[in-house]
Structures are given as structure tokens and as C-alpha cells.
Structure 1
Amino acid sequence: MPVSVTMPRLGESVTEGTVTRWLKQEGETVEVDEPLLEVSTDKVDTEIPSPAAGVLSRIVVAEDETAEVGSELAVISGEGESAGSDAPQEDEAAEPEQAEPATEPTAAAEGTGPEPEQEQEQEQPKAQAAPASSGAGTAVKMPALGESVTEGTVTRWLKQVGETVEVDEPLLEVSTDKVDTEIPSPVAGTVLEIKVPEDETAAVGADLAIIGTADAAPAESAPEPEPAPKAEAKPAPKAEPKPEPEVAEPTPGAGYNEPAAEAESAAQPAKAEQAAQPAAPTATPARSSATAQGGGEEAAGYVTPLVRKLAGEHGVDLASVNGTGVGGRIRKQDVLEAAEKAKAAKAAPAPTPQPAAAAPAKPAAKAQPSAKRGSTEKLPRIRATIAKRMQQSLHEMAQLTTVIEVDVTRIAKLRTQAKEPFQQRHGVKLSFLPFFALAAIEALQTYPIVNASMDLDAGTITYPDAEHLGIAVDTERGLMVPVIHGAGDLNLGGIAKRIADLAERTRTNKISPDEIAGATFTLTNTGSRGALFDTPIVPSPQSAMLGTGAVVKRPVVVNDPDLGEVVAVRSMVYLALSYDHRLIDGADAARFLVAVKERLEGGNFEAELGL
């Protein structure tokens, strides 16, 4: 029985999602829970697993198209059903050739003549449809890259017409109001046509380019009766011996001997597989060596098979390569540049005057960002979305910021004592941020007005029954705020682990939609970049947001029990609370900040640290 793949609910308030990329194409097999496609919403980008094992028989929603929650995305058929549907087409396509000279079988079949004719008429268009798509190549469509995204802009083509491309190799870069990302090639082949040039916008599901695949010739040679004209459109230069398919089929395998590892997935005939076998052993060690050298995909982020293979061939450590692609993805050019630099580094120590020549190479690398000077570029959609939300928040609220200075010297000493045991016990580093978070959560429990939200039109104030703490995370795509739900139930170690986990998965785009929604109070650590303090903008519908500055040592007047007022070097930090003055009074904000200050300056965290 065919199984329908539907759009799941990817968040409390999410009503639709956009298909950004199909990880499987029609006709390919898929296992249960194997990633089938990637979906993007305004909350998060995530993979959708297959609900059943079988063959992806039909894709209903193309890439860059948006579908509502619960709507059908694709259909998966059982492997037996897929094989059965294909076999009759080949048998019936061959039957008419034998039916012409055989007079007796046709007379015997006259009793059931109308039904076979109808079946042939219905199945012949199907046989024509497959060669039509393969003869014209595979269309690369604009994927859906967000919940409300209906279009995307092609910012750069990484491949041009006539160039070859491998499966999953980055083909172009697309920008929306949600994200800037690379679109990989769904198949291996040659770029036959680019339909949408750079800096032009296309709707979700629109054709961006046409790629001719290596398996086009075998696909067209099967239905010879009617699709003959279409078969001549593309395979003319490659499959010249058309009357002898057994001779023509091994030709692509021999002609594409180097990328045979990628071509094997096209299910070519036995002779083509035998021709591709010599190249397979070379591809396998290349990938394994790349994984061993680069530390795997976890060390270098998402890496395409082509890049892994290339890194293995050149002996490049992927963990040491800085990706220049969207989101820091490592591209083929990055690997080649790293290989050239490695060769230059080996040759440099031979002559002694080389260090002087190496100095000008660094300014050349730094000069790349300066290319934007004096230029104008299109505003990325994700930046436009952030701008609209920030402006809307300022218009909706009467925002005010109150700043307080806190002495965290005792916490600094505790961190020095507990750093190593804490990391061994919890697996994460002990920074100042978990202390700030814990103190803020305890103050929210004492002063719930800071954790509340107001509906002016309805005339209501809502006090949540828990503290859901948002943590602002700086990513390549822009500022994102994952949420620690029920943060009031966690201790210092639990908060530290959740912060580290959410930050890592947010930067690697592995966060789920529900983990980005539902914050009642947000904490932003601008001090991690050296800022003393700032005035955060409160995200609606929250009513307050706390900004933590850099912890710095400076001379401060302190009251010593024995010496009185003395000047001492202390670790100091500024805490800035921005709040909606329509709901929170200045006195409420001050009381909240003083509660945080007293908790931090008291430094009574020994029990939390196991000291």
C-alpha cells in the first residue's frame, strides 16, 4: 500500500512549511526514518524522516514550495509495487513487436482485445513520460526556505552552462527573508540551461536550471516504439550505437570512470557496473581518509561527498579549513586553496628569506571583505525580517533600560576552583553566563511582573506558570534565540549544559522549531564580544530582556570590616535590563536588578558546584 508523507507540525504556532531540499528523488529507495527532505519554517530548518520503507514514487510538493501542516508532500510505494509497475511497461512495450508477425496469438486474443489496447494506451504515455524528463534533463527547482517564504533570489551561480556537477555538490546560492543558503545539485551531470540568472527572483517550485544526467541514455533506449524522437534529442552524442543497447550501455560507465562512485546509484546495467568497479575502490578510501583527517562531519559541519573525496585525495584536514560557503559550509574551492597553501607551507622553510615573502600573503586574504567598500548589495531577506521585527517591537512598546553594576569577584574565584571538576562532571565549560541565568530565574520567581506579558487590547496581564528563558545566539545566518523551557526547574549544572547544547545546535542548524518558540524572558550576553553594556530591544510579546556585559577587573572602593573603605581590584560587570514601561515600572525593574545583584555578589554557589 502506498504511504503518504505529510507536512508535520513543526511548532506551536507553525501552520505551514517550505520544502528546501529533497534528499531523495523519484524512483529512489528509502528506509524507515531515513531523512527524506528538508523543511524550513520561520522558526527552524529541519529534516523530515521517511514514515515507511519503499520507493519514492511521487513528489507532490517541489523544492521551494510551501505546504500547509497536514498536506501531502510525497508518496512512498512498496518496493514490490514499484518493480511491478515498471515491469509491465517493458514487457508490453516489447509485445507489439512480436504481435505483428504472429497471427494466431492475435486471433486468440480477440476476445479480450479492447482491454489490452486500453492498457497499452494508458501505459504508453507513462513510458513516454520517463524519457521526456530524462531526455530534457532534470529540473532544479526553487525550494521552500521558510514557513511564509514564497520566493527566493538567486545570488550566485556556482556552476555555469556546460560545466559538470556531482550529486549534492553546491550548484547555486539563494537568498530569502529567512536564510541565505546553497542549493545542492539533485543529480550528477552537466548544466544544460540556467533559467533564472543572478539577482533575479523566482517563486517557490519554479525551475532554476536543467541538468542532464548520465543515465539519460539507458532510460531512453528502453521505450523504443514511440519515444524514439525524444531519445534523439539528448543522447545523440553519447549513445550512437542505438540499435545495440548492450554495446551502448557500457559506454557511459567507461566514459565516466572517475566519478563511478556517484554513478553507481543510477542502477545501470550489469556491464556498466563492471566498467565502473575499478573506480569504486579508489573512492571509498578517499572518503574514509577524509573523515579520519577532518574529524568527520561534526568537526567541519555539513560536508558534501565531493568535498570529502577531494579532501582525502589532497590530504587536507577538513577541521582546519574555514568554509566560505553559506553558513560556513566548506566548498570545493576551500579544499583546493587549503591544499595549495599546504604545498606552499612545505616549500617555504627551505630558503631562509621566505618569511619576508609570506607576510604580503596575509593582507591578500584580508582584502576579500574590503571588496564591499563603495558597493551596494541587495538586503538579505533574513536581515530584512529581523529589521521589521525590531522596528515593530519598538513601535509596540514603551521601552526603557536600567543598568546596574555588580561585583562578581566571588564567582570568579569559584570558577577558578571548580572549572576542571565541573567540566569533567557535566562535559561543558563553566562560564559566567549560567550564574547570570540562575540569578535572573530566581529573581523572576520573586518578581513575576518581569516575566509577564500584556495584551492592551484585551486589557489583560498574563503571568506564566514557569520561567522559559531565551538565550540569544550569534550565528552565521543572524541572531537566533533558542529557549530553555522550564528553566526554573534546573540547577546551575543543568542550565550550563542546556545553554551549551542549544547554542551548538543553533549554530549547526540542528535546532527544532519548538525550541525557538515560547520564551517569556530573554538573556543576551553581549559581553562575550567585549561590550561593557548595551540597551537590548525587548522581543514581543515578552516584557523584559537582560543584557550582560563583559566581566572586567578594575579598582573599586570596597568596605573592609577591619580597614574600612579601601580601594581593591575587583571583577565587575554591568547588567542592563530593558523592559516595557507600559507594564513594568522603574521601581519594579530596580527591585529585580537588585535581587540579581545580591544573589551574584553573595556568591553562595558552593552547593551548586559541589564544593
Structure 2
Amino acid sequence: MAVSVTLPALGESVTEGTVTRWLKAEGESVEADEPLLEVSTDKVDTEIPSPAAGVLSSIKVAEDETVEIGAELAVIDDGTGGAEAAPAPAAEQAAAPQQPAPAAAPAPAPAQAPAQAEAAPAPAPAAPQEPAPAQAAGGAQGTDVTLPELGESVTEGTVTRWLKQVGEQVEADEPLLEISTDKVDTEIPSPASGTLLEIVVQEDETAEVGAKLAVIGSGAAAPAAPAAPAPAPAAPAPAPEAAAPAPAPAPAAAPAAPPPAPAQPAPPAQPAPPAPAAAPAPAAPAPAAAAPAPAAAAPAPAPAAEGAYVTPLVRKLAAESGVDLATVKGSGVGGRIRKQDVVAAAEQAARAAASAPAAATAAPSAGRPAAPVLEASPLRGQTVKMPRIRKLIGDNMMRALHEQAQLSTVVEVDVTRIMRMRARAKDAFAQREGVKLSPMPFFVKAAVQALKAHPVVNARINEDEGTISYFDTENVGIAVDTEKGLMTPVIKGAGDLNIAGIARKTAELADKVRNNKITPDEVSGATFTISNTGSRGALFDTIIVPPNQVAILGLGATVKRPTVVDHPELGETIAVRHMTYLTLSYDHRLVDGADAARYLGTVKGLLEAGEFESEIGL
């Protein structure tokens, strides 16, 4: 039966989404809830999971196409037999049901379709497969993959990349394509396992939410049925999967076998896609989609840092093996990193570690830090298409600069007390709360407490109405650096959380962002933003205030340096202290320099007092 994959609601204000990448190609198998494609909206990039297991029979929205919420993205054939039976097969099905048992044998096949006698041996094993009935059911459309809802205000999405090609196998929930919207880039998973039979929406095409993107069937591919574009693609599907398991499925297929026989008009085309059919093994690992064209992709592997899609399975394997994906060159289509690439990288690292202990111990003896090992980036000399998320970030930043009168104020803060407090509590805190205690929650806590006393910094200018909204809640955006670009998930109601609550929420959101699990609602609604540019060693930064906000706080690197302190007994003395810079960029249309200085002064006072013992268990 054909299952439609639609663009789901992705947030209160999201009305459309853009398909940025298909993680499955037409003809590939997909499991239920497996990532099928990535969709981008103006708020977040996210993956769309498959609503059912089967074969991606048709892609309705190509990569880079934008569609509205509810639009059909693709079609998945779940292999249960379809209600959309074609007229011809319908008549045959009346008699076919009586042949379930014989269907498994080669003899019945030729009996039902004499013209296919020569192809009977191949279809015979396929007949037992459950997906076959879907083809026989007449829809031959398989399972539709549609553009799901990606947020309340997201109405369309653009297909940016298909991760599977027609004829390839796909598992349910396996990433099938990438979608980009004006709010987020995300993957759309296959709604069913099977073969990607048809891609309806090509890359860079835009489709509305609910639009049909592709079709997944239970066979190899659909090029063999020119006369019946929809039915033909699905019909051959069973053959690839049935090639080996034919004997076992026979009994299970008994009830469903009848339909397959009539629906086998395309068995002669079966030989056409031997490559995908011969690669059932890769169907287990999601990245196996690269099988159809490994030779073409191998010469130009690309590092993960360039944005090549990495499946959760490969990420997990890399994390367990201690492999940095940014250093791995993918051998899959388009430079995608496969399981084999991670395994090879891990083995190579192990060999290098075994042969380099002497060199490693010799380095410290020199008494100076080793120079970083640099490798020329493969991006040098290339002209590439600007990623949609990069364009969205750029558009938002330019809009903010053009609409606001921005400037920055900086203060220096002594955070020695906090750093010492954290050092004493971090082990017990991690054991008790399940997350690490970094300095970040202390800064967030101080910032939101100060916002309550200085609402002018936690406000919004409503230009159309000529009014100012002073918020009574602190929804803090936390800028997170990702491979695809800057994302800003939002801690809603941060002013009501303690240090532990802020630490847990920050870790949760950062993990979602880096693993493409963030939703549009989780990256929207910020009333104030914090950017930790010091995490990369920057002393301070003149950050840009995001649109619809009037201020953003930048955290500089915390460094030890000699500072004059006023000791109660020794008077003024020089001591080594933990020092950092805080930068507040603000919109001068609403916030004056004195307002900014007062706000920063309050944050500075809270941090230097460091009265957080009760919140961290001290």
C-alpha cells in the first residue's frame, strides 16, 4: 500500500520548509521512523522520519524545493498490498487468491503470465515477498514519500539533496533526502523499507508541505515500465529482496502471493538494475546507498567538515572508536562517510598510535608546545554552492545590521571564585545531575537574573505598531557552532531555572543541534541571546544583535593573569586571577550606553560575588 510522506508541522510560526537533502533515493528500502530526508525552515534544520517501513517508490519534492506544511514529499510502498489496485490486475486477483501456495513455485508464475515465462524463474522467488502485493495492488506507486509538516509557519520546502537514487534500497527511517526551508535544514527519513522507484521532486525544486516527493516500492527500480510509469516501478521491486530469501517467505507470502503474479509486468526489466539488487547487504547500513556508484564517488572523497551527511549510526561508531569525522574522507556518493570509512580510520589511528609512542613522549621533553599539524583544505580553489543555512544566517545578520543601530560595550570580570567553586563541585555535580558542570551555566544564571532588573535589555521594538514590548520571561538563545553553521537553540523560561536546570537544558539542546534533532520551536522565541565566543579562545567579540531582539551578550575566554586586587588585610596586591571579558552588543534605538553599562555592571557583580554554592551542592 502506498504511504504518503508529508511535511509535518515544525513550529508555531513555520508554514513551509525546504528539502535540503534526501537521505534515501527512489527504489531504496527504509524502516519506520528512520530518517528519510532533511528539511530546512527559517528556524531550524531537522530530519523527517519515515512514517512506515517499505520502499521509497517516489520522491515528490526534489532537494532545494520549498513546500508548505502538509505537502506530499514522497511515497513509500509498505509492501502490504495496495488498495489502489489497477483494473487489469483486479480481475486477476479474483483467481489469484486461490493460488497462494503455488505462487511460491516457479510453475504458477508462467501459468498466470505466459508472456513472462522466460522471466518466471526470477519473479517466482519474488512472489513470496510481502512487498510484491503492493505492486500487484495496482497502485504500483508503492509508498509515497511526502513533505511532512516542519512547523506551524512552514508551508513549503526545497529539496537540497537526495541521499538515495532511483533503484537503490532504503530502510524505514533511513535518511532519504535533505530538505531546506526558510527556518531549518533537515533530513526526511524513508517511511518504509524497499526500493526507491521514483523521485518526483528533484534537487533544488520546491514543494509544498504534503507534496509527493518520491515513491518507494518493493522492487529494484521502475525504469522498466514505460507504459505504466507508476505501476512498473513498484512491480520489479520484490525481485531484489526476494533473491535470497525466496524459499523462507513463501509461506508468509501465501496470502499476498496472488497479487504479485499479475503485477509482474516488468520482470524482464529485472536484469536492468542488478547493481542495486545485488547489494542487499548494504541495505543494513544506511550509508549503503552509495553502492550504485562507488566508483564514481571514490575518486573525490570529501571530509565530513564540508557538510557531507553522516548517519547517526556512523556518528555513534565514530564516537565509540574515538574517530574525528572532520578528518575522515568519505568514500560514498558525494563524499558521504560510510561505516567502512570510520572503521578504516580507527584502524589507521591505532597503527599510528602504536608506532608513535616514542615520538609522543619526546615532544614534551623539548619544553615547548608542539606546532599544530595543518593539512591543506580540499576546498582551496573550489567554487561551491552556498548552503541554504549559510544563506539564511547571512540574510538574518544583514537584516539585523540594516534595521538596528548597533554598538557594543565591554567589561572585565574576575571569575576566580566561580572557577574554584566549579572545580570543587564538578565531579559530584556530574554524578548527581548526569551532565558536566561547565562555566556556562553560571554566566547564563547571572545574565538572566540581571535581565529581571534591567527589562530594557530584554525587550523588542514593534516598528509597525510604534510600541515596545518588555518581556516578563527570559527566553535565552544559546549560540551553538555546528558543521553546517551557527544555530541558536532557546532555553525557554531560563529565569526560572537553577544552575543544574540550565546545565541540563543547555546540554540537551546542544546535542539536538549537533545531531540534527532540533525542532523549529526549539530555535525560536528568544528574547535575549548569549554567544560563547571564548570557547575558541577569543578574548571578546563585537557580536551582532539578532533580529527582533535588542541585545546579545558575548562571553570571552577566561584566562589567568596577574591582577591588582584589594585584599582586606594586605591592601592592594598583585595576584593571579581568572579574568574574562563580557561584551554586550545592543540596539541603540532602545538601549542607551548607560543602560548597557548598568546591565553589565549587575552581571559582573553577580559573577564576582559567586553566591551559587547552594545551587551546585556545596
Question: Is TM (by shorter chain) over 0.5?
Answer: yes
Q: d(CA) in 1 for partners of 2:438 and 2:422? A: 8
What is the distance in 2 between the residues matched to 1:586 and 1:539?
18
Structure 1: runs of 5 or more not aligned: 99-125, 240-251, 264-299, 357-362
Evaluate the alpha carbon distance shift between residue 224 and residue 412 of structure 1 in structure 2; reply closer, same or farther with a 3 A threshold.
Answer: closer
2:270 alignment partner in structure 1: 235
Residue 322 (structure 1) aligns with: 324
> 1:494/1:379 Cα in 2 relative to 1: closer, same or farther (>3 Å)?
same
Distance in structure 2 (CA, Å) of the matches to 1:380 and 1:85: 42
Deviations 1:327-358 (A, max 9, x none): 997424523532662685599599x99x99xx
Q: Could you tell me which of 338, 359, 381 is aligned with 2:345? A: 338
RMSD across aligned C-alpha pairs, in angstroms? Answer: 5.8
Structure-2 residue corresponding to 1:303 = 313
Q: Could you tell me which residue of structure 2 aligns to residue 17 of structure 1?
A: 17
Give the Cα separation in 1 of the matches to 2:59 and 2:197: 24
Structure 1 residues 391 and 446: CA distance shift in structure 2, 3 A = same
Select which of 231, 238, 262 maps to 1:215.
238
Per-residue deviation at 1:319? 3.2
Does residue 1:454 correspond to 2:461, yes or no? yes
In 2, Cα distance between the equivalents of 1:6 and 1:191? 18
Of the three residues 593, 596, 605, the one matched with 1:589 is 596
Moved more, 168-177 or 37-46: 168-177
AA matched with 1:320: G
Query: Which of residues 508, 528, 531 in structure 1 aligns to 2:538?
Result: 531
Find the aligned partners of 2:10 and 2:273 in 1 and give their Cα distance. 46
Is the alpha carbon distance of 1:90 and 1:397 closer, same or farther for their aligned partners in structure 2, counting shifts above 3 Å? same
Q: Which amino acid aligns with 2:338?
A: R
Contact 1:63 1:143 in 2 (8 A): no
For the residues of structure 2 that align with 1:55 and 1:180, how far apart are their CA atoms? 24
Matches within 5 A, 1:121-140: none
Q: 1:319 to 1:601 in 2, by over 3 A?
A: same
State the Cα distance separating 1:28 from its structure 2 match: 9.0
Is contact 2:83–2:139 with CA below 8 Å preserved after alignment? no
5 Å matches for 1:382-461?
Answer: 382-461=389-468
| 2: CA distance, partners of 1:78 / 1:142 | 17
Any unmatched runs of 5+ in structure 2? 98-107, 109-134, 223-235, 243-255, 287-309, 363-370
Residue 367 (structure 1) aligns with: 375
**Looking at both structures, which has the greater relative contact order when contacts are Cα pairs under 8 Å and sequence separation is at least 6?**
2
The change in CA–CA distance for 1:582 and 1:183 in structure 2 (over 3 A counts) is: closer
Matched, 1:41 2:46: no
Separation in 2 of the partners of 1:444 and 1:528?
23
CA, structure 1 residues 602+183, in 2 after alignment: closer, same or farther (shift >3 Å)?
A: closer
Task: Give yes or no for contact 1:220–1:227 (8 Å, CA) kept in 2.
Answer: no
Pair 1:259–1:3, CA change in 2 (3 A) = closer
The residue aligned with 1:558 is: 565
Distance 1:61-1:202 versus aligned 2 partners, 3 A rule: closer
Cα distance in 2 between the residues matched to 1:256 and 1:34: 19
Distance 1:591 1:404 in 2: 11
**Mapping of residues 470-509 of structure 1, within 5 Å:** 470-509=477-516
Please report how far the alpha carbon of residue 182 of structure 1 lies from its aligned counterpart in structure 2 after TM superposition: 8.1
**Residues 1:384 and 1:525: Cα distance change in structure 2 (over 3 Å):** same
Query: C-alpha separation between the residues in 1 aligned to 2:411 and 2:615?
Result: 25
Q: Output the CA distance in 1 between the equivalents of 2:589 and 2:433.
A: 41
Displacement of 1:605 in angstroms is: 1.7
Residue 367 of structure 1 aligns with an amino acid whose one-letter code is E
1:321–1:330 contact (8 Å) kept in structure 2 = no
What residue identity is the alignment partner of 1:14?
Answer: V
Distance 1:407 1:597 in 2: 8
Residue 464 (structure 1) aligns with: 471
Partner deviation per Cα, 1:504-532 (whole Å, 9 max, x = no partner):
12111122221111010111111111111
Q: Alpha-carbon deviations, 1:258-309, whole Å to 9, x = none? A: 669799xxxxxxxxxxxxxxxxxxxxxxxxxxxxxxxxxxxx96026xx99x
Q: 1:226, 1:432 → 2: CA distance?
A: 64
3-state SS in 2 of match to 1:385: helix
The whole-number CA distance in structure 2 between the counterparts of 1:403 and 1:328 is: 43
- Report the alpha carbon displacement of residue 587 of structure 1 after superposing the two structures with TM: 0.8
Q: Distance in 1 between matches of 2:381 and 2:23?
A: 39
Match of 2:114 in 1: none
Q: Distance between the aligned counterparts of 2:78 and 2:204, measured in 1?
A: 38
Report 1:571-586 matches (<5 A): 571-586=578-593
- 1:431 aligned counterpart, secondary structure: coil
Cα distance change, pair 85–191 in 1 and its aligned pair in 2 (3 A):
closer
SS of the equivalent of 2:545 reads coil
The Cα of 1:160 is off from its aligned counterpart by: 9.7
Deviation for aligned residue 1:29: 10
The structure with more helix, counted as a fraction of residues: 1
SS at the partner of 2:412? strand
CA change 1:349–1:452 in 2 (3 A) is closer
Question: Which residue type is aligned with residue 91 of structure 1?
Answer: Q
Contact 2:473 2:495 in 1 (8 A): yes
Number of aligned residues? 507
Residue identity over aligned pairs, in percent, reads: 52
Shift of residue 542, structure 1, vs aligned partner: 0.4
TM-superposed deviation, 1:549: 0.5
Change (3 A) 1:158 1:225: closer
The offset of 1:610, in angstroms, is 2.7
Q: Give the deviation of 1:380 after TM superposition.
A: 2.2
Deviations 1:180-234 (A, max 9, x none): 78898987779999998xxx84455778999567635889997777975x544x1
Aligned equivalent of 2:248? none
Q: How does 1:539-550 map to 2 (within 5 A)?
A: 539-550=546-557
Match of 1:273 in 2: none
> Do the aligned partners of residues 4 and 439 (structure 1) sit closer, same or farther apart at CA in structure 2, a change above 3 Å counting?
same
- Contact 2:6–2:147 (Cα < 8 Å) also in 1: no
3-state SS of 1:495 partner:
helix
SS in 1 for 2:425: helix
Which stretch shifts more, 402-411 or 140-149? 140-149
The AA in structure 1 aligned to 2:375 is A
Decide whether the 8 Å contact of 1:177 with 1:380 is kept in 2.
no
TM-score computed with the length of structure 2 as normaliser: 0.64
2: CA distance, partners of 1:189 / 1:583: 57
Q: Distance in 2 between matches of 1:7 and 1:195?
A: 13
In the TM superposition, what whole-angstrom CA distance separates every residue of 1:59-80 from its partner, at most 9, and x where no partner exists? 8954656443456678999998
Equivalent AA in structure 2 for residue 529 of structure 1: R
Any idea what SS the aligned residue of 1:467 has? coil
Residue 235 of structure 1 aligns with an amino acid whose one-letter code is Q
Is contact 1:525–1:547 with CA below 8 Å preserved after alignment?
A: yes
| Native 8 Å contact 2:58 2:215 kept in 1 | no
- Residue of structure 1 in register with 2:116 after alignment: none
Structure 2 residue aligned with 1:245: none
Could you list the per-position Cα deviations for residues 358-396 of structure 1 after superposition, in whole angstroms to 9, with x for gaps in the alignment?
A: xxxxx9x95351x33344333222212211110110010
Judged with a 3 Å threshold, the aligned counterparts in structure 2 of structure 1 residues 561 and 7 are, in CA distance, closer, same or farther, namely same
Which AA in structure 2 matches 1:321?
V
Does the aligned pair in 2 maintain the 1:127–1:223 contact within 8 Å?
yes
**CA offsets 1:541-580 (integer angstroms, 9 cap, x no match):** 0000000101111111122222222222111111000000
CA 1:519–1:189 in 2, change beyond 3 Å: closer, same or farther? Answer: closer
Normalising by structure 1, report the TM-score: 0.65
SS at match of 1:303: helix
Q: Secondary structure at the match of 1:538?
A: coil
Q: Which letter does structure 2 place at the counterpart of 1:500? A: A
